[in-house]
Amino acid sequence: MHMCPKCGKTEKEKQFLEAFCIDCYPFSFRIPDVVEIETCKRCGRMRIRGEWVSFDKKGMDEYIAGKCKGEFESVTYDSGKQQAFFTVKKCGTSVTVPRYIEFIKKITICQDCSRMAGGYVEAIVQLRGNEQAIAKYSKMLIRMLKAKSFITKTEETHGGMDLFVGSTRSVLESCGALGLHAMITKKLMGRREGRRYYRTTFSIRFED
């Protein structure tokens, strides 16, 4: 019966690779002691690779894997147990190697939530014309814009609806995805962080 020369455990207690048990085998990969990820206290999104994203198991695994170096095929991470499970091929077999990596949430507030709390508006979407079309497309726009950015407020106006949005880019992308054509105007509002700050108005008219 094999006995690990490092810890003394036997094949009945642990899986073996060559002369060592799986806990003592000298795998050639390096892992961090701690992985710290900024987490927004308001929306719950995490900042991964410089972007604020909703928690996603696959994204977390890929992020943890990016922090590790060495000979392994894949990594999954259990945030509850704070363990990374490395899939490694050795000696003609595939083994799963657990390693402890402390996961720390650094509680902060993301730029979108900070701006939303301050009533920040970068774009205004004006929907005018056919009431049924406005009702239909406003729901789709609101859903898409909330997924991409945030809506500070909505207002029903005479003959339509206005959406006050935190990102001009999100409006451009959403209108493009829905095939909506808008008349675009820009107004200089001042300076933010040394740069000119514009508010963009998207005027969309639905024919009766």
φ/ψ of 62, rounded to 5, equals: -65, -35
Q: Give residue limits of the domains in the chain.
A: 24-108, 119-206
Q: In the prediction, which pLDDT does 170 show?
A: 94
- 106-127 pLDDT, tens digit each: 999 998 888 888 888 999 999 9
- 182-208 pLDDT, tens digit each: 999 999 888 776 788 789 999 999 987
Q: How many CB atoms lie within 10 A of CB 98?
A: 12
Look at residue 170 and give its three-state secondary structure: helix
HSE toward the beta carbon, residue 25, CA cutoff 13 A: 21
* Averaged pLDDT score across all residues of the chain: 88
- Give bridge partners of residue 128 from the DSSP assignment: 160, 205
> Which positions ≥6 away from 54 have C-beta within 8 Å?
44, 45, 46
